[in-house]
Amino acid sequence: MRTQSEYESILDAEADSALSRPVGTRRDVQAAGAEARRRVVRKRDELVREISQLWKDGFKNLKEENDSMQRGLRAAHQSTDIGIAERLADMFAGVQK
């Protein structure tokens, strides 16, 4: 899991790549700034998709684990219930003698 500082490094690298080209006019500076912002937004959107996919994958794994645990609990409950029924049958048989 990445930290805020790691994300800042990634986004700063994107901005630096656009801002490192030579500029000679105000228009060049504005174009470099606009390009830096576009790249940062594009990278941010990419990272948002990555985070969402990690969440979905993690949720999928958690759901599979939960479903497995629920099935195990259901099977254990049924087994225990059958055991109770068998013991009660034995107890009834002992009482009726």
User: Two tokens at 56?
Assistant: 């979905």
How do residues 36-57 score in pLDDT, each as one tens digit? 999 999 999 999 999 999 999 9
**Contact indicator for 4, 37 with CB cutoff of 8 Å:** no
- CA gap 27, 50 in Å, rounded: 34
- Give the containing element (helix H, strand E) for 10: helix 4-19
Local structure of residue 3 (DSSP, 8 states): -
pLDDT of amino acid 97: 65
- CA gap 29, 94 in Å, rounded: 96
pLDDT of amino acid 96: 78
Q: What does pTM read for this prediction?
A: 0.71
Question: Tens-of-pLDDT digits for all 97 residues of the chain?
Answer: 899 999 999 999 999 999 999 999 999 999 999 999 999 999 999 999 999 999 999 999 999 999 999 999 999 999 999 999 999 999 999 887 6
pLDDT of amino acid 1: 85
**Contact indicator for 47, 36 with CB cutoff of 8 Å:** no
